[in-house]
A = this chain, B = another copy of it.
Amino acid sequence: MISSRRARVSGGDRGDETRQRLIKAAIDVFGRFGYEGASTRALAEAAGANLAAIPYHFGGKEGLYLATASYIAERIAERVGPVAERVAGELTGEESGPADRDACLRLLQELLDRFAELVVLEEEAGQWARLVVREQMHPTRAFEILYDGIMKKVLRLLATLIGRLTGVAPDNEVTRLRALTLLGQVLMFRTAHAAALRQMGWDKIGPRELAAIQAVVRENVVAIAGASAGDGDKAGAAEVRR
């Protein structure tokens, strides 16, 4: 389908700037209208670029879409990566004794705090999110880029931290489900954005609202991690008869 006749990496010239403008505009336009709904004319106009620049630089509309997914994955990795790596570092740097429970809890809260900030604040995330969620529910090749780029790492870290806190193996089904439910608490404010605004009577989610969300999620994390602490042997109870 794709015939990308250019695979430029080097940059700095005028063409490189055009590619950047097209990608930036594409995040918004693809997010708003979907892949099929976004016309190359709209994409080019939003970027202040020529229509023919899309087939020229990206081989076509699909190439621009995939390039946009890569860009998003890089931006997210840029923001979450440092925190994630620090968490990973602290995890391997210490033993899993009962003494580091508080440390794990803090790391978990920090990871979710950072993720909430990334996901929920208005800035750019609202544009990424529409594209990402679309890929979640109707995956194309772009989903591989997004998942491998960042989601996998975050989910694994969450499961590791929860495993430590609850004494259940990180690859246990219940542990992995707990990781997902924690993430879901944060993601909901993007994926059900309009409903959340109405429920809260907010007209947007700014720094104050973000802080309120983070506070509630932190409390929930404490409750969930605390309630199931040391139930390594009971974890099977949540497993379900087939």
Contact = CB atoms under 8 A, between A and B. Distances in A.
Contacts of A31: 138
Given A155-B195, A188-B187, A137 B147 contact: no
A225 to B, nearest CB: 8
A199 B179 contact: yes
B137 A129 contact: yes
B133 A216 contact: no
Interface stretch (A10-18, A84-92, A93-101, A170-178): A170-178
A32 B138 contact: yes
A109 to B, nearest CB: 13
Contacts of A227: 219, 222-223, 226-227
Interface string A193-217: 1111011100000001001110111
Chain A interface residue number, banded: 35 or more
B189 A191 contact: no
Given A192-B184, A215-B238, A228-B219, A176 B147 contact: no
Contacts of A61: none
Interface stretch (A19-27, A34-42, A46-54, A71-79): A34-42
A220 B220 contact: yes
A180 interface: yes
A21 to B, nearest CB: 22
A180 B134 CA distance: 21
Contact of A36 (B36, B129, B177): B36
A183 interface: yes
A189 B190 CA distance: 14
Contact of A180 (B32, B159, B199): B199
A193 B136 contact: yes
Contact of A33 (B36, B179, B180): B36
B184 A189 contact: yes
Nearest to A183: B188
Nearest to A217: B181
A143 interface: yes
Given A34-B134, A136-B192, A211-B240, 9 more contacts: A34-B36, A136-B191, A139-B194, A177-B212, A181-B216, A184-B185, A212-B239, A215-B238, A215-B239
7 contacts: A133-B192, A137-B194, A147-B194, A173-B212, A180-B200, A184-B189, A223-B224
